[in-house]
Amino acid sequence: MAELATEKHVSYILSVEKRKDNFESVVMEHLRMSGAYWGLTALDLLGKLDSVDVEEVTSWLLSCQHESGGFGGNVGHDPHILYTLSAVQVLALFDKMDVINVDKVTNYIVSLQNEDGSFSGDMWGEVDTRFSYIAICCLSILHRLDKINVEKAVKYILSCKNMDGGFGCTPGGESHAGQIFCCVGALAITGSLDLVDKDLLGWWLCERQVKSGGLNGRPEKLPDVCYSWWVLSSLTMIDRVHWISKEKLVKFIIDCQDTENGGISDRPDDAVDVFHTFFGVAGLSLLEYAGVKPIDPAYALPVDVVNRIFFTK
Amino acid sequence: MSEESDSKVEAMDLLRQLEDILESDALIDELGFIHPSQFPLLKEESDISSSLSYEASHQSEDGIVSSVESSKQDNIYFWNRDHKLGISTHVLLPLYRTVKHAFMITFKQYRMCDNQSDKVGICLPASSCDHLESTLLRHSKSLLVLSCDFMTAWNCRKLIVSKKQQLSMFVDELLLSELVLSYSPKSEQAWNHRRWVIKSISGNCSNFKEILGKESELVEKIAERSKMNYRAWNHRCWLVSYMTIEQVLCELKKSRSWAALHVADNCCFHYRRKLLLKMMEGQSCLDDVVSCGHNVNIVQALKDELDWNETLIKRYVGREALWLHRRFLSMCWINNFVPDSGDESYHSKEATGLYHDFGTFLQNELCLLHSCSTFVDDDFVDVQAQAAHSACYILWLKVQVPKPLVNELQEKIRDVDLKTFLNKSCPERSSLFNYFIN
C-alpha cells in the first residue's frame, strides 16, 4: 500500500496561504480562521508546526477579535462562535493563551446560551448543536466551563437525539455524523457519555462504512474523507471503533492523497483542499498511523496540546 | 492614469452595471457564472427567440422593451433575460474585490453613524443614514451573489431590516435568499437568513400560514435539483414546529409521492418521521385535535406507512433509506402500541388486541425477511444489499424488542440461522453482529 506523503502535504498546507490570485480561493476568505485551524493542526499532527511564524499568526488572529470578545472569520468580519473556537484552538496549539483576555472571550460565549440550554451562533440567534459543542469545548479549554449552565446544555443536546441513536442540529433534525461528533464530543467533555445509548449509536455509525472502506455521513451518501474524522472520533469516544474495518479506512484515506502536489481530497481523484487534508490526517491519527501524532477525539487537538492545557497550571 | 487605477475604474463600472441589473429586475430567480466563450452562443439563441417574440411584443410595448433587451445583450460580462442572470467568470475576481471593499468601507461608516446617534441620543441627518442604508443593501446583495456565505453581509441586511420592521422588506430578504439558493442550494447562511426572517415575522404576519406552505414548497423544489441536501431538509423539519396539525397531515400526504420517487433520499423519509412524531405529540393533547375536526388516527397512519414502506422495499431492491425507515416505524409500533407486561392496562381488552397484533406484526416481518433474503453468489449487487439490509433489520428488531416479548420473536426466528445468514450477506460487519447475537 502507498504511504502518507507527509512532506508533500506540509508544503501543500503552507502554499494554500499564499494563493490569493483566483476567485475560488479569495471567495473563501470569510472563513480564514477555520482554515488556519485546519492547516495548523494538520501541520502539528505531522510534526511541522515550527515551519510557521507564530508572531505573524497571533497578531493576525488578534486583529480578528471583536470588542464583544468573539472572533470573526477574518479581519473586519462579524464575530461568530465558530471562529471563536478556531481562534482559541490555534492559540492552544501555540501555547499562546496569554495573548487574549480569557474573561472577555468567556463572556462572549456565556452570552450566547439560551434559556433552554442551547447556544446561538451569534447575536442573530441561529441555534445548532454544533454551537453547543463549540461553547463547551472552548470554555473547557479556557478552564471556564463553570460559567455556563452545563446541566441545561446537556439536556438540550439530549433533546436532539433521534430514535436511530444519532443526533441532529435541533430537536427532530436528521442524524448526521458531523452533528453526532459535536453532541458526543460535548457530552464527553462534560462527563455525560453515560447518557448515550452507545450500542444503538455505534450501530448507526458503523453502518457509515461503505464497501470501498470510506465512511459516509448519512445513509445512501458517497464516502468522504472528512467523515473519517466525524464518524471515527465519535466511535472512539463511545468505544466502538472495532465495529468498523480500520485497515480498509486507512487505505481509503491514503487513496485520496495527491501524491504529486500534496493535499487530500474528499474522494480518490478529486481536487484537494485544506479542510479534507486536515480531516484525512486527523483520521489517520485516530487510526494510529505511524508518523502522525495522536489526536484527542473530543477536543480535536493533538493529545500533547490537550495534556498541556489540563495538566500544567 | 496608471494601469492599476484604470482597472479600478473599470471594476467600479462593472459593479455599477451589476447593481443596476439587480435593482431593475427584482424578479431574477436564477443565477449562474458563465464562461466568456458561452456568451456568443447565448446571444445567438436570444436573437432567435427575440425575433420570434418581437412580433408579439411589438404592438403592445411599442418595441421599447425589445430595444432595452438588445442593448443588454451587447454586454459581454452580464447576461440578463427572462429573469435569469449570468455573470462572466472573467470578471468575478475584480468584481468581488471591488464590491467587498466598497461594502466593508460603507458598513464601517454606517456603524460609526449608528454608534454616534446612540450616544448623542439624536440621529445624524436622516438622509445620510438612509443613503448609507440603501448603498449597503445594494452592495451586500451583489456581494452575496458572488460569495453566498459571506456572513457579515447577511448580518448587515438583518441589522437594517430589523430596524425598519417593514413586512415588505422581510419578504424581499426571502427573495434574495431564494436567488442565492438557486445557484448555491447548500448555502448555510442563506438558509439561516430565511429562518431569521420567519422567526422575525411569525408573531405579526397575517399570511404566515401561507408563507410556511411556500417555504415547504421551496425546499421540495430545491431538493429536486440538489439531492439529499441536508440544509434544505433540515429547514423543512424546522418549519414543522410552526405547523398546525392540519398542515402536518397535509404535508404528510404531499411528501408521500415525492418520497416514492426518491427512495434513496433519506432526508425525505426523515421528514416524514418528523411529521409522524409531531402527530403522536399532537395526540396527547386530544382537545387540540378534536377542535380541528381531524380524525388523527396514529395507529392507522403507522400501519399505512408500514404497508407502503413494504411495497417500496419490494419494488426498489437494496435501498438503505427504506430499511432504516422501517426500523423507525417498527420502533414506534413497539413503543407506542405494545403494552409492556408490567402495565395495568395490559389486561384490558384493547391491549390484548394490540398484543395479538404484535404477533401478526412479527409474523409479517419474518415473511418480509424470507422474501428478501434469498440470493446466490452471482446475483446483482442490489439483491445482495437487500439481503444484508433485511438480515440487519431482523437483528435490529431482536435487539429493540422489549424483554417480555423477545421470546416470541426468538421462537419465530429459530428456524432461521440468523448468524450464518448475517455473516454471509455482510461479512464486513461481523464484529457488530457477534456483539449483538451473543
Please give the ipTM for the structure prediction. 0.96
Separation of alpha carbons B274 and B164, rounded Å:
35
Q: What is the CATH number of domain A6-311?
A: 1.50.10.20
Closest CA to B140 of B159, B125, B127, B126: B159
How big, in percent rounded to 5, are the helix, strand and coil portions of chain A? 55, 5, 40
DSSP, res A165: S
Residues of A in contact with B237 (CB under 8 A): 168, 170, 172-174
Residues of A in contact with B93 (CB under 8 A): 22-23, 26
| B266: closest CA of chain A, how far (Å) | 7
Look at A30 and B147 and tell me if their CB atoms are within 8 Å: yes
Interface-testing mutation among B101, B140, B142, B234, with chain A (most A C-beta atoms within 10 A): B234
Q: What is the pLDDT of residue B382?
A: 85
Separation of alpha carbons B260 and B262, rounded Å:
6
CA distances, A287 to each of A38, A75, A177, A280, A305 (Å)? 18, 36, 18, 11, 19
**How do the domains of chain B map onto residue ranges?**
1-41+76-147
**Taking CA atoms, what residue in A is nearest to B95?**
A23
Q: Which residues pair with A79 in a beta bridge?
A: A72
Closest CA to B259 of B280, B238, B228: B228
Q: What is the pLDDT of residue A27?
A: 86
Query: Which SS3 state, helix, strand or coil, does residue A120 take?
Result: strand
Cell of A205: 455509525
Closest CA to B237 of A128, A205, A216: A128
Residues of A in contact with B436 (CB under 8 A): 199
DSSP, res A78: P
Residues of B in contact with A23 (CB under 8 A): 89, 92-93, 96
Look at B228 and A221 and tell me if their CB atoms are within 8 Å: yes
The number of beta carbons lying within 10 Å of the beta carbon of residue A118 is: 23
Separation of alpha carbons B130 and B109, rounded Å:
12
Cell of B337: 402500541
Look at A163 and B328 and tell me if their CB atoms are within 8 Å: yes
Asked if B201 and B167 count as a contact pair (C-beta separation under 8 A), the reply is yes
One digit per residue, the tens of pLDDT, for chain A of length 313 reads 789 999 999 999 999 988 777 888 888 999 999 999 999 999 999 999 999 999 999 999 999 999 999 999 999 999 999 999 999 999 999 999 999 999 999 999 999 999 999 999 999 999 999 999 999 999 999 999 999 999 999 999 999 999 999 999 999 999 999 999 999 999 999 999 999 999 999 999 999 999 999 999 999 999 999 998 999 999 999 999 999 999 999 999 999 999 999 999 999 999 999 999 999 999 999 999 999 999 999 999 999 999 999 998 5
Q: What is the pLDDT of residue B284?
A: 61
Q: What is the pLDDT of residue B14?
A: 94
Nearest to A206 among B238, B277, B432 (CB): B432
Asked if B230 and A218 count as a contact pair (C-beta separation under 8 A), the reply is yes
The number of beta carbons lying within 10 Å of the beta carbon of residue B399 is: 14
Query: Which SS3 state, helix, strand or coil, does residue A73 take?
Result: coil
**Number of alpha carbons in the 13 Å side-chain half-sphere of residue B213:** 10
> Which residue ranges of chain B lie beneath pLDDT 70?
1-4, 49-74, 117-126, 283-296, 337-356, 375-379, 414-416
Look at A174 and B104 and tell me if their CB atoms are within 8 Å: no
Query: Which SS3 state, helix, strand or coil, does residue B403 take?
Result: helix
pLDDT in tens, B387-420: 999 999 999 998 988 877 777 777 777 656 788 8
Nearest to B320 among A173, A206, A219 (CB): A219
Separation of alpha carbons B207 and B226, rounded Å:
28
Separation of alpha carbons A171 and B22, rounded Å:
38
Residue B7 sits at φ, ψ, to 5 deg, of: -70, -25
Separation of alpha carbons A269 and A266, rounded Å:
9
| B191: closest CA of chain A, how far (Å) | 10
Residues in chain A: 313
Separation of alpha carbons A275 and B437, rounded Å:
39
Interface-testing mutation among A19, A27, A34, A160, with chain B (most B C-beta atoms within 10 A): A27
The residue type of B281 is: E
**How do the domains of chain A map onto residue ranges?**
6-311
Nearest to B270 among A23, A174, A245 (CB): A174
Asked if A76 and A30 count as a contact pair (C-beta separation under 8 A), the reply is no
Q: What is the pLDDT of residue B53?
A: 53
Could you tell me how many CB contacts below 8 A there are between chain A and chain B? Answer: 104
Separation of alpha carbons A262 and A255, rounded Å:
12
Look at A173 and B234 and tell me if their CB atoms are within 8 Å: yes
Residue B201 sits at φ, ψ, to 5 deg, of: -100, -5
